[in-house]
Structure 1
């Protein structure tokens, strides 16, 4: 029988707490601060003991992390297009340009 989720979380916390090598854990599009608390060892903010880092991306503010956060704004439409062009390679293909423009319009602010 497999381990329960809480047992896995405890094992992860223990390994991170005792790690003697640098580590990075990424929580992408985080919905709840509790998820981070489930994995990161308590008392792990002591910089002398810590050899790891936590990177969280989310769409909401977590007041309890206000002092240790970097807030990034959404891309402007032209920035999103530039990013997408670099990611896929600039193309003069009309269909590619239409797809990239639609992707840039999805979830970015307009320049207007």
Structure 2
């Protein structure tokens, strides 16, 4: 019997992959206080792990978590001290966007959220 981990990413439908890819692209435009980047980073890491494991429910949960964390969800006063995503997060997001955006390329266990740091 083949486990889910043997065929990562195959349980994702096109709509979920598109939703994840669009949201990840949006993360690159976010501006947050430096101290607020921990939660989005954790959500992106969870998304990467779930995607690599072929866990569609985990991907949905991580995408939903990122949507809730979006600074665009609630209008707030911009602070000039807000910063773009830290470089390690930016690299993780970029790697995931490319991975998720290539439907014929199944992820491997090595292609997780830290893929862009190699």
Query: TM-score, normalised on structure 1?
Result: 0.24
Structure with the greater alpha carbon radius of gyration: 1
Larger strand proportion of the pair: 1
Higher relative contact order (CA 8 A, sep 6+): 2
Larger helix proportion of the pair: 2
Query: TM-score, normalised on structure 2?
Result: 0.23
